[in-house]
Amino acid sequence: MVRRASGGEVLEQAKRLVVEARTMDELRQAQAVLLPLEFGLTLAQTAQAIGVSVGWACQLRRRFILAGGLPEADRPMPGGRRRENMTRKEEAAFLAPFFEKARVGGILVVGEIKQALDERLGRKVALASAYNLLHRHGWRKLAPDKRHPQADVAAQEAWKKNSPTSSSKSTTRGQARGRSA
């Protein structure tokens, strides 16, 4: 005697999905549930009718039944930030005071951010976590300027004019070394 197909509780959803399917995968999934229950087809016959292997037809049925009649496209798929410490909005709110301080002329010290992050999370995190956090929010390490922001350009030019033209170490017995004459 053949065992009856399971999934009677999602039969109505499968019928509805056959009509409303947006993709071939959704249609195949609904047919994998519908054909054995409505027409008494075996798993092998169902697989042949929908054009997949027996193992895949079984998986399509099982997934549909376990999801309670939701097609695969409507279920949450793997991926995303499952191990996140904070959401993106929480991260932005956490970094806002540091970015504001940097915007008004201060510097962004990653060590301070890491300490604040440790306190916020209640545990120690790696320094790379602080750098990754900053990277996610568009921060990049900037190289220093070619001149100091508080440098006196006039004093630098005056020093250049009054400084010796050559170092004492570059001369031998008072004579400048030169190339062959």
DSSP characters over 118-174: HHHHTS---HHHHHHHHHHTT--PPPPPSS-TT--HHHHHHHHHHS-SS-GGGEETT
Q: What's the token pair of residue 171?
A: 């001369």
pLDDT tens digits, residue range 38-84? Answer: 888 888 999 999 999 999 999 988 888 887 766 665 556 677 777 88
Higher pLDDT, 156 or 8: 156
Q: What does the pLDDT look like over 127-153, one tens digit per residue?
A: 999 999 999 999 877 666 677 778 888
Token representation of residue 111: 């060590």
Question: Is residue 11 packed enough to be buried (19+ CB in 10 Å), middle (13-18) or exposed (0-12)?
Answer: middle
Q: What percent of the chain has pLDDT over 90?
A: 32
Domains and CATH numbers, the chain: 8-74 (1.10.10), 88-136 (no CATH)
